[in-house]
Structure 1
Amino acid sequence: MSARNPETRNPVPSKPGTGRPAGEAATDGALSRLGIRFTVWAERWFPDAFIFVAIAVVIVALGALANGAPAMTVAKSFGDGFWSLIPFTMQMAFVTIGGYVVATAPPVQRLIDRLALVPKTGRGAVGFVAAATMLSSFLSWGLSLIFGGLLARALARRTELRMDYRAAGAAAYLGLGATWAMGLSSSAAQLQANPKSLPPSLLPITGVIPFSETIFLWQSMLIALILFVISIVIAYVSAPQPATAVTADDLGLDVSRDKPDESRPQQPSEWLEHSPILTLLLVIIAGGWLYQEFARQSWITAISNLNTYNLLFLTLGLLLHWRPRNFLASVAKAVPATAGVLIQFPLYAAISAMLTNAKNAGGTSVSDVITHAFVALNTTGSFPISMGVYSAVLGFFVPSGGGKWLLEAPYVMQAANELQVHLGWAVMIYNAAEALPNLINPFWMLPLLGILGLKARDIVGFSFLQLIIHLPVVLFLLWALAFTLTYHPPVMP
C-alpha cells in the first residue's frame, strides 16, 4: 500500500534531446505515446489533490464575492459547509477500509490472485483491470473502486508481465469515471425511483421515475455498452509496451500481499484476540440487522445505502479474517489510505455550500446565476448537450452524484418539463455527463490512490486520455438518442 521510499521515487529516464522516456519503442502506438506524454506533463505540473481542492475553494470564494455576497457571508458558508459532509466523509473512509479488509482476507486474496493469472501480457493486464472494474461498477461503485485497485496490485506482483502500474491504476478508476452512474448504484436514478428519498419540493417537478425509465432504457444500456468497449480499447492501446512500462517496482512501491498473523497466543490476555468466538458473535448480531435491511426492500436499494454497504463489508471482512487479531491488523493497514478522504472531503463540502448559500443582497447565489443562464439559453434540441456540458463542469466543483443531483434537479428538470424532454432521459443525461469529470478529479481517486500507493498525477495522464475521447462520444449519444424518446408528464406516487 505504501512506497518503500516515497520521497525518492524512481524517475522515468528520458532519451537525450527527445523528451521521450528511455526505451520508448516504435511498437508503442500513438495513443500510448500520447498517454505517456500526458502522464509526464501531469507528473510535473498536476498538483497534489489537496492543492487542487484548496485552489478550487479560493476560486469559488472569489466567484461568490464577485457576485456581491458579503465577505463574512462567504466565510460563514465555508465554515458551515465544511462540516456538513462529515457522515459522508466517514462513509467514504469506511468504503476504503471495508473494501480493503475484505479484499485482503485470505479467501478473497486467493480469488484475486487467480484472476491475476488470466492476462498474458502487460497491456492485456491493463485491459483486464479496466473490464473488471467497470463490470463491478454496474453493481456498486464502491466495490469497483476497491476491487479494481487490489486487482491491479495483484497483477503488479507478476513482474514478468512488465505491466505499467500507472496505466493499470487509471484502468482501475474507470468504474468511477465511465460507467458507475449507468448502473444500479446510480445516485440520481435511485433517488428518483424512491419518492420517500426526494425533497417534497422536487417531487411535483419530477414525479417518480422508475429504473425502467432511466438505467434500464435500451438507450441507456447502449451508452453503457459503448463506453465499456471504448474504455477497454483505450486502456489496452494506450498502455505502454514492456520496454517503456513503468512498473510498481520502478516506482519503489511495495505491492506484496499482506500475510495473516499465524502466531499463537503467548499470554492469557491474547486468547480472545486469536479466538473466533467473538468474531462469530459479532457477525451474528450484525447479520441480524443486515437481514432486516434486505428483507424490507429490494437488494438493489439496500446495497446502494452506504451504511448497509459498509457494514456488510466490515462484517464479511471480520468473518473472512476469522480471528480478531488478523482483522484489526488489516484495518490498521487500510487506515492510512483514508488520509486524503478525511482532510479533503470537508473542503468539497465547503465549496458546495459557498456555491449555494453565499448570496448577495438580492438573495442570489452563484448557483442561481448559473441556473438562470442555463434555462434562458436552452431549446429542446440543445438541452441534452447543454445539460451534459453543464453537469460535467459543475461535477468538477461539486463531485457528489446524489447531493449534486438534489442541487441541480429543481431547475434542469423544470427546464425538461418546459421543453418537453423525456424526464428519465434527463436523469441519464445527468448520469452520463456527471461521471466524466471524475476521470480527472482527484476527489474520487483518493481511496483508490491510497490502496495503490500512487499520486493523482501518476494516473491522470491516462485517465485524461479517456476523457478527451469519452466527452464527444457521450455528448453525441445523449443528443442523438434523445430523439428516440417521447416526453411524459411527471407521474406522482
Structure 2
Amino acid sequence: MKEKERMEEQEGRLERLGISLANWSEKWFPDAYIFAAIAVVIISVIALFMGRTPVEIGVDFGTHYWDLIPFTMQMAFIIITGYVVASSKPIHKLIVKLAGIPKSPKTAVAFVAFFSMTTSLISWGFSLVFSGILIKEISNRLDGVDYRAMGAAGFLGLGSVWALGLSSSAALLMATKASIPPELYEISGTISMSQTIFTWQNLVMIVVLISLSVWIAYVSAPNKDKAKTAEMAGIDYRSKGTSEKKKATRPGEWLEYSPILTILLVAVGMIYIVKVIAETGPIAALNLNNYNFMLLMLGLLLHWTPRNFLNSVSSSVPAIGGVLIQFPLYAGIFGILMNSGLNDILVKFFLSISTENTFPLIAGIYSAVLGLFLPSGGGKWIVEAPYLLEAAKELNVSMAWIVQVYNASEALPNMVNPFFMLPLLGVLGVKAKDLAGYSILQLIFHVPVVLFLVWILAKTAPYVTPFFE
C-alpha cells in the first residue's frame, strides 16, 4: 500500500512540475524566428570585434543569404510529403483503428508517445500530422485524457529520435553532395547513410530513448479525475464533415477527379526509383532528393486523384512558412561565420578543451545549447558542421559519429522551442504553451541519457575516411 502511495506521490509531483514549467514557458518563450534573428545579431557583433567592418558583414550576410535555397525547398518538401501521406484516406483509416486500442487516459498518452516516435523515424513531417490525427481520434473515443499531456506526447518524436531516422536533415545532407556547401565539402566530403543512421549504435539510441519517453509519458499523465480535457479547454475534435464535392461537375474537372494521371505519374516515378536503387543500392539511393521523391509518389498513390492530392498539399502549406523564412537567415549566419574567421577560432577552441575521448560529449552539449537559438536540424547543422567536423578530423574522431552526436543532441531543445511544433499545433488547434510543460518534463530526463549515450557509444564508432567524389 505504501509503495502505491509513493508512486502516486511521484506522479503527482511530475504533473505539478509540468504545469509550472508550462506557465513559465508561456511567459518567456518568443517565436522561433526571433531566436534566429538574435543569432544573426550576435554573430555580427562578434564579427565586428574580430575586425570585420559593417559593410563586410553586410556583404557576407547578403552574398550567402540564398545559398540554402535548394536545401530549404528540400526541407519544405519533407513537411509537405509527410503531411500528404499522413492525411490520406488509407492512413486515416489505420489511425482510426489504432485510436480504439487505448482504454485508459495514461495508456492513451503513452500510446501516442510511442507512435509519435516510431513514425518520426520515417519522416518528422509525417509524424506530426499522424500524431495530431491520432490524438483527435482518441479524444473522440476516450474520456478523461489530458489534452496537454497527449499533445506533448504527440510531439515527442521531434524532441527525441526523429533525427536518428530516415528524415535526418544532417545525415541526408551529408549524403547529398549537391546540398553540401563547397567550403564544408572540402572538409568532410560525403558521408553515407550506412555510416550514420544505419549503424547498430544508432539503433541502441533509438530503443533507449523510445523506452524512456514512453515510460515518462505514462507516469506523468494525469488520471481521469485530474485531467484537463480538450472539451474543458473549449477545443472540439469532433469531425465537422465537409461539403467538398467528390466528383467532377463539368468537363474541365474530369481529370482532377480521375486516377488516370496519378497512375501514369507514379508509374513514371517508379521507373526512376527502381533504376536508382538497382544502380546504387537502397542505402546509397537514400539522399534528400530521392527520399522526398519517394514520399511524393507514395502520397500521390494514396490520395488516388489529383484533386484529393492537391487539397492535401494546400492544407500543408501553412506549416512550411517558418522553414521558408528562417533558412536563409541560417545561410547568412554561415557566410558571416566563415568569412570572419570565427570558424577557425571555434575549431581551435574545441581542440583546446577536447580530447578524442571527450569531444563527442562536448559536441553534444554544444549542439543542444545552440539549438535553443537556432531551432532547425538542417539549418543549424550548416552553421555547426564546419568547425565540429574540422575539430573531429584533427582529434581523429569519426566524423560520421559526430553527425550522429549532432542528430541525438540537437533534438533536445525542440522540447522547449515552438518552431517544430507548428504543424502539430495547427492540426490540434492548440498553442505551444499547452504542450511545453510536459515537453520540458521529458527534457529533464532526456539530457543526461542522451549525453551519456553519445559519449559511451563513441568508443565503438569506427573512424570514417571522407569520400570525395
AA aligned to 2:362 is: S
SS of aligned partner of 2:280? coil
Match of 1:17 in 2: none
Which whole-Å CA distance do the structure 2 matches of 1:208 and 1:272 have between them?
43
Match of 2:367 in 1: 391
1:230: Cα distance to partner?
0.9
- Tell me which of 311, 322, 337 is aligned to 1:340: 322
> Cα distance 1:224–1:323, how it changes in 2: closer, same or farther (>3 A)?
closer
Match of 1:32 in 2: 15
Q: Deviations over 1:127-153 (max 9, x none)?
A: 112111222233443433333333233
Match of 2:422 in 1: 446
CA contact (8 A) 1:33 1:240 kept: no
Which whole-Å CA distance do the structure 1 matches of 2:460 and 2:21 have between them?
39
Which whole-Å CA distance do the structure 2 matches of 1:180 and 1:198 have between them?
21
Which whole-Å CA distance do the structure 2 matches of 1:79 and 1:202 have between them?
19
Which whole-Å CA distance do the structure 1 matches of 2:37 and 2:191 have between them?
37
CA contact (8 A) 2:145 2:227 kept: yes
What CA RMSD, in Å, does the superposition of the two structures yield over aligned residues? 3.5
Matched, 1:180 2:155: no
Match of 2:5 in 1: none
Which whole-Å CA distance do the structure 1 matches of 2:71 and 2:186 have between them?
27
TM-score (norm 1): 0.79
1:467: Cα distance to partner?
1.8
Which whole-Å CA distance do the structure 1 matches of 2:361 and 2:382 have between them?
20
AA aligned to 2:28 is: W
Match of 1:10 in 2: none
SS of aligned partner of 1:347? helix
Match of 1:134 in 2: 117
> Cα distance 1:202–1:64, how it changes in 2: closer, same or farther (>3 A)?
closer
Which segments of 5 or more consecutive residues in structure 2 lack a partner in the other structure? Answer: 1-7
Which whole-Å CA distance do the structure 2 matches of 1:272 and 1:472 have between them?
55
Match of 1:485 in 2: 460
Q: Deviations over 1:217-259 (max 9, x none)?
A: 5444333222111111122222333344344444444544565
1:212: Cα distance to partner?
6.3
Matched, 1:102 2:85: yes
CA contact (8 A) 1:345 1:443 kept: no
Show the 5 A alignment for 1:301-340: 301-305=284-288, 307-340=289-322
Q: Deviations over 1:337-359 (max 9, x none)?
A: 333333333334434444334x2
Matched, 1:54 2:37: yes
> Cα distance 1:356–1:336, how it changes in 2: closer, same or farther (>3 A)?
same
Which whole-Å CA distance do the structure 1 matches of 2:10 and 2:313 have between them?
43
- Tell me which of 261, 276, 279 is aligned to 1:296: 279
- Tell me which of 120, 126, 133 is aligned to 1:150: 133
Matched, 1:42 2:18: no
> Cα distance 1:231–1:368, how it changes in 2: closer, same or farther (>3 A)?
same
Matched, 1:120 2:103: yes
TM-score (norm 2): 0.83
AA aligned to 1:63 is: I
AA aligned to 1:296 is: E
Percent identity, please.
51
CA contact (8 A) 1:171 1:235 kept: yes
When structure 1 is superposed on structure 2, of 338-347 and 112-121 the one drifting more is: 338-347
Which segments of 5 or more consecutive residues in structure 1 lack a partner in the other structure? Answer: 1-24
1:488: Cα distance to partner?
4.9
Show the 5 A alignment for 1:38-437: 38-158=21-141, 160-189=142-171, 214-215=196-197, 217-253=199-235, 255-257=237-239, 261-305=244-288, 307-357=289-339, 359=340, 364-365=341-342, 367-401=343-377, 404-405=380-381, 408-421=384-397, 424-437=400-413
Match of 1:8 in 2: none
SS of aligned partner of 1:317? helix
AA aligned to 2:66 is: W
Which whole-Å CA distance do the structure 2 matches of 1:463 and 1:369 have between them?
35
CA contact (8 A) 1:127 1:233 kept: yes
> Cα distance 1:212–1:48, how it changes in 2: closer, same or farther (>3 A)?
closer
Which whole-Å CA distance do the structure 2 matches of 1:71 and 1:349 have between them?
18
